[in-house]
């Protein structure tokens, strides 16, 4: 799996202390039944998607580039975290262009402007 991690990765409270361990297991594609991954949507018409990390073990995702925006402990936490991401970006920008904000922030980070 080709994975890029957002510079300001969102992490649900329950995974806060386990963040590095969870991310290492994701990179190694190890099973983590309760972990959900929040990504930029594959299609440009949407902003975010989230998947069970178990789904990402399927062969269809081997060559799929994923831009990981957040990780959550379970479906409910993933829903809450998506809401938190959108709300935070709206509060900062007065806009709902979540994808645009995240992409711009990542580019600034990669260029050392953050």
> H helices then E strands: how many in the chain?
3, 4
Tens digit of each residue's pLDDT (9 = 90 or more) over 8-52: 999 999 998 999 999 999 989 898 999 999 999 988 888 999 999
Tens digit of each residue's pLDDT (9 = 90 or more) over 57-106: 888 888 889 999 999 999 999 999 999 999 999 999 999 999 999 999 99
Q: Give 113's pLDDT tier (boundaries 50, 70, 90).
A: confident
pTM for this prediction: 0.91
Q: How confident is the model at residue 68, as a pLDDT?
A: 96
Whether the Cβ atoms of residue 101 and residue 89 lie closer than 8 Å to each other: yes
Q: How confident is the model at residue 43, as a pLDDT?
A: 85
């Amino acid at each position: 799996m080709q994975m890029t991690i957002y510079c300001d990765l969102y992490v649900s409270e329950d995974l806060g202390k386990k963040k590095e361990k969870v991310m290492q297991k994701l990179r190694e594609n190890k099973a983590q039944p309760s972990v959900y991954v929040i990504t930029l949507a594959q299609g440009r018409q949407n902003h975010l998607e989230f998947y069970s990390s178990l789904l990402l073990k399927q062969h269809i995702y081997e060559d799929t580039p994923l831009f990981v925006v957040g990780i959550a402990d379970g479906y409910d936490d993933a829903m809450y975290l998506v809401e938190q991401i959108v709300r935070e970006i709206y509060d900062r920008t007065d806009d709902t262009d979540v994808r645009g904000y995240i992409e711009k922030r990542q580019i600034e980070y990669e260029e050392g402007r953050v």
